[in-house]
Chain A
Amino acid sequence: MVNQDFMGDEQLRQLALNVQNAPPQSAERQRNLNYLVNNILHSGKLGHPHTGKYPQGIYQDLYNEALQKTLLKICTKIDQYNPVHPVMAWVNFVLSKTFIDVEKDVQRRGITYLPQALKNDMTILSLDDLNSPVSDLHPSTEVEKLRQFLKEDPEGRLQEEHLQNHTDITFQKIALAKYVDDLTWDSLSEQFKIPLPTLHSFFNRRLQKLMPYFHKYL
């Protein structure tokens, strides 16, 4: 089954039945769910509730949110699909209900009629946004606290942990070089003359072990 084909109603129905008939949690069911989602998205029959109601930008985001939630509902409740109806009728039914829920939720958060979201939690950044130097990135107090914590090591535990056979290469040293000096792992590996896998095995595991210590002071 090629996922780029646009399926007719009957084929889509059969695909949904294939999902239902495969054992739950079986690889077969999961594969067919993937096909089902793809074919729903490419069906050309997805509804667009309330198109005229919103400016284009806001509508796209509302729609995406509703579509995403709808797809998950379709997948997790596929056993409730009644083959008497075309699959897309069911999907669009769920989509229009979900769209209303998303609308209500978004209205509650107050962004609907604003051209640009002002609150952080309703911002959608693009790659261009991520690439440009933005002023909203400033070292918060949390970040400063981390820097100080690494340097001061109140209970001395960051200094205690060191690489086997290298008492001078402590967790603290690595953490400072990584975080404060912003060195890459490759350059740290070169600098300390320790192979990357060894460095990571040590650092990654100690970090998890020391996490309660981090949380205590940060």
Chain B
Amino acid sequence: MSTPSLTFTVPLSWEAHSLAQHYRTQQTTVPKAKQAYLNSLAVYAGDFYLRCLGYFPDPSASDSRNSINLHFLDVADLVVPSLGKLECRPVLPEMDVLEIPSEVRDDRIAYLAIQFTQSLKQAEILGFTSKSLAQIPLSSLRSLESFPDYLSALRQSIAADQLTPFHPASMVELSQWLEGVASAGWQALDTLLPGHSLVAVRSQAGQQESPCNPPQPFSNQVQKAKLIDLGLQLGDRTIMLVLTLAPSSNQTVSALVQAYPVHDPHLPAQLQLKMLAESGEVLQEVWSRGQDNFIQLKQFSGQRGDRFRLQIVLDEICITENFVF
């Protein structure tokens, strides 16, 4: 017997129910009113679950949150930006199947089965499925244990599809930097932020050393920086991406990639810096925890013509820069 399936429980109180009531009272018949109420609670529970995991679903963009849709369609979708629509289906206490109405069998990334208690004061997310069949036995649902991986794989495949192809216009040619030629947006630190000193350097052990500027490039090194705007909603979220290149022997060039905050002393928490192969495969990644003065990737090297991508990710913002050595 395998380990019991991982589920997730959501207590439901006034916030959940008043919202459900709003959708219920727009309907004219008892069955439709009931469906609208349950669907609303289910979407609410799904939204709560995803937010606990660190996602930022957008219920307001969902069809299920538009009453006009509910007059025609038994829909309980939840938009997860950058991923798609997750259908949150209610399951009644005595049921042993998940029912998926025909109107929602298309255009969904997955279906969550959300079972309610008789009082409707508690919802339990039993599991998920990616199969869009009319009925799925609850025993066939996949455990929530695998749901984060499922979404992660989906995100990677979507990101890979959306990566711009490497054409010359979108690529930064690092060989040119070594020859003294500038790339748009990339400048020497002093030019980019004159007189600005970047704060403390973090040592290997994670302890904070006394404040000093980032390591000055040696004479044969080239260092350039670019300001990256992560969006205005959270206040100033400008960070600076710093790339330091050093030619080594046998025609390889090593690169050090760092990210620094600009106006705050610390980087925003959960900022990710990733390095990807041309294919989209993540080769390395590092993230900030909220107290970091900077983060950096492990030094890597390449030969002329080798391509890679850097991504800076914060919440749903994902900025990609393409490079060729």
A185 touches B103 (CB 8 A): yes
- Binding stretch for chain B, among A9-17, A83-91, A121-129, A153-161: A121-129
Interface string of A176-218 (1 = CB under 8 A from B): 0011001001100000000011001101100110010011001
A137 touches B152 (CB 8 A): no
A121-B18, A123-B17 given; A24·B270 CB < 8 A: yes
Most buried by B among A3, A4, A175: A3
B18 touches A75 (CB 8 A): no
For the A-B complex, the count of residue pairs with Cβ-Cβ distances under 8 Å equals: 186
Interface string of A148-171 (1 = CB under 8 A from B): 000000000000000000000000
Separation of A196 and B92 alpha carbons in the complex (Å):
25
Separation of A52 and B34 alpha carbons in the complex (Å):
34
* B298 located at the interface, meaning its Cβ lies under 8 Å from any Cβ of chain A in the complex: no
Which B265-293 residues have a C-beta within 8 angstroms of A? 269-270, 272, 285, 287, 289-290
Which residues of A lie under 8 Å from residue B116 when comparing CB positions? Answer: 127
B54 touches A121 (CB 8 A): no
A79-B269, A79-B289, A200-B106 given; A65·B7 CB < 8 A: no
B19 CB, min distance to chain A CBs, angstroms: 9
A61 touches B118 (CB 8 A): no
B residues bordering A, Cβ < 8 Å?
A: 3-4, 6-15, 17-18, 20-21, 24-30, 33-34, 37-38, 48, 51-54, 63, 66, 68-69, 71-73, 92-93, 101-103, 105-106, 116, 118-122, 144-145, 147-149, 151-152, 269-270, 272, 285, 287, 289-290, 313
Which residues of A lie under 8 Å from residue B8 when comparing CB positions? Answer: 34, 37-38
B11 touches A67 (CB 8 A): yes
Which residues of B lie under 8 Å from residue A211 when comparing CB positions? Answer: 66, 68
- Of the candidates A37, A60, A79, A204, which one forms a contact with B52 in the assembled complex, judged by CB atoms under 8 Å apart? A37
Give the size range of A's interface with the partner: 35 or more
- Of the candidates A25, A28, A120, A140, which one forms a contact with B270 in the assembled complex, judged by CB atoms under 8 Å apart? A25
Separation of A94 and B10 alpha carbons in the complex (Å):
17
- Of the candidates A23, A79, A130, A214, which one forms a contact with B290 in the assembled complex, judged by CB atoms under 8 Å apart? A79
Which residues of A lie under 8 Å from residue B152 when comparing CB positions? Answer: 26-27
B72 touches A178 (CB 8 A): yes
B303 CB, min distance to chain A CBs, angstroms: 30
* A30 located at the interface, meaning its Cβ lies under 8 Å from any Cβ of chain B in the complex: yes
A4 CB, min distance to chain B CBs, angstroms: 6
Interface of A is mostly: helix
Which A132-157 residues have a C-beta within 8 angstroms of B? 133-134, 136-137, 139-140, 142-143, 146
B146 CB, min distance to chain A CBs, angstroms: 9
Separation of A85 and B239 alpha carbons in the complex (Å):
34
Which residues of A lie under 8 Å from residue B151 when comparing CB positions? Answer: 27
- Of the candidates A41, A120, A179, A200, which one forms a contact with B18 in the assembled complex, judged by CB atoms under 8 Å apart? A120
A128-B118, A136-B25 given; A200·B37 CB < 8 A: no
Separation of A65 and B102 alpha carbons in the complex (Å):
34
B266 CB, min distance to chain A CBs, angstroms: 13
Which residues of A lie under 8 Å from residue B68 when comparing CB positions? Answer: 146, 207, 211, 214-215, 218
Which residues of B lie under 8 Å from residue A122 when comparing CB positions? Answer: 14, 18
A140 touches B25 (CB 8 A): yes
Which residues of A lie under 8 Å from residue B15 when comparing CB positions? Answer: 65, 68
- Closest B residue to A61 by CB, please name it: B13
- Closest A residue to B271 by CB, please name it: A24
- Closest A residue to B69 by CB, please name it: A207
- Of the candidates A24, A63, A67, A218, which one forms a contact with B269 in the assembled complex, judged by CB atoms under 8 Å apart? A24
Given A29-B54, A33-B53, 17 new contacts (CB under 8 A) = A25-B54, A25-B313, A27-B148, A29-B148, A31-B145, A41-B9, A64-B12, A68-B10, A75-B51, A121-B18, A124-B14, A125-B37, A130-B120, A137-B24, A179-B71, A186-B102, A211-B66
